Amino acid sequence: MKKFAVVLAGCGVYDGAEIHEATLAMLAIAQAGGEYQCFAPDIDQHHVVNHLTGEEMPEKRNVLIESARIARGNIKPLSEFKEADYDAILFPGGFGAAKNLSTVAFDGANAKVNPEVEQAIKAMNAAQKPIGAMCISPTFVVKVLGEVDVTIGSDQGTIEVIENMGGMHVQTEHGDVVYDASNMVFTTPCYMLEATITDIWDGAYNLVDAMMKSMNGEVEE
């Protein structure tokens, strides 16, 4: 049974992990016969957003504690992640990926990546294990690894950020997966495109399916 580490960025699209992407990624892993363990960095969120009004709220929340809502409490601090214990790592999207796991939302190509996130990506890359990234998350994968083929759909501003980081962008539609064989990186656009929840399922299913096939030696390079 292949074991995935799923790294969350909080709870909610505007300031944390995108809940549909995170949940459907976990469902896709389970349906593919794998298992998953959720992780999140034990840090404060950049800010808290009222998801009803879109306005910032005057309070603090913790990324690990908020992510535990999605994981139903079964979550570990990202500091405890060990590459040897997992066959693959997967990053759902949401603005938290660009605000908490990295500073892409504020700094673009000059973004910084959370040190624990960077360490996890580098460890999996060095071990030639699959790295999956949904929605906006491919940006910080490129920031860490450099010359990687990825997709975030068709948003020109984000494409320019990726290219300025040294990555190569491939324009895609819903359900498409870009596979960088040399780096074992798998990406799909999800809510970076205008989407329904069924579109998100298509992306999550196809992403996990491609990652599983690579682990089983079934993906052509």
Q: What are the extents of the domains in the chain?
A: 3-215
The residue count for the chain: 221
Q: Consecutive 10-residue runs of the chain (221 residues): their mean pLDDT? A: 97 98 98 98 97 96 98 98 98 98 97 98 98 98 97 96 97 97 97 97 98 86 49
Note the pTM of the prediction, 2 decimals. Answer: 0.96
pLDDT, position 218 = 82
pLDDT, position 219 = 65
pLDDT, position 217 = 86
Classify 3-215 by CATH class: alpha beta
Per-residue model confidence as pLDDT tens digits over 59-98: 999 999 999 999 999 999 999 999 999 999 999 999 999 9
Active site (catalytic) residues: 135
